[in-house]
């Protein structure tokens, strides 16, 4: 299996459990690794034959900007679901980083893997 990745995708959204977090947008950072067979695309040199990372990123930006979840776990799960269902990705590893969420820590968040890594 090949891996198509997107790193440091920064998106502003409403996320958090505290009242003040429900009133402002905060930046979350997504790192994605998506299992895909890119051999056909390598042979044809055609975007239609690969996992289009720009389309994935655009869809996630659209979704996350409009979302208002309390937990990063929920947001990560929903993003992974979009990637798998809408883009036919069998396996995804998604890191969701909520910078500044813990005092004295550079960043915090979750890493989830969904699907079978073939």
Active site residues: 98
Cα dihedral across residues 15, 21, 24, 26: positive or negative: negative
The answer to whether 110 and 15 have CB atoms below 8 angstroms apart is no
What is the rounded CA–CA span in Å between residue 64 and residue 11? 7
Q: How far is CA 106 from the centre of its chain?
A: 19
Q: Identify which of 66, 64, 103 has the alpha carbon closest to the alpha carbon of residue 80.
A: 64
What is the rounded CA–CA span in Å between residue 91 and residue 33? 8
């Amino acid at each position: 299996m090949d891996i198509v990745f997107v790193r440091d995708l920064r998106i502003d959204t409403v996320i958090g459990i505290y009242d003040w977090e429900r009133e402002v947008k905060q930046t979350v950072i997504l790192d994605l690794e998506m299992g895909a067979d890119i051999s056909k695309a390598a042979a044809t040199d055609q975007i239609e034959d690969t996992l289009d990372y720009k389309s994935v990123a655009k869809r996630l930006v659209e979704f996350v900007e409009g979302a208002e979840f309390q937990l990063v776990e929920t947001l990560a799960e929903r993003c992974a679901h979009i990637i798998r269902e809408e883009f036919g990705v069998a396996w995804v590893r998604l890191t969701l980083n909520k910078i500044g969420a813990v005092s004295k820590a550079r960043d915090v968040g979750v890493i989830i893997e969904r699907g079978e890594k073939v």
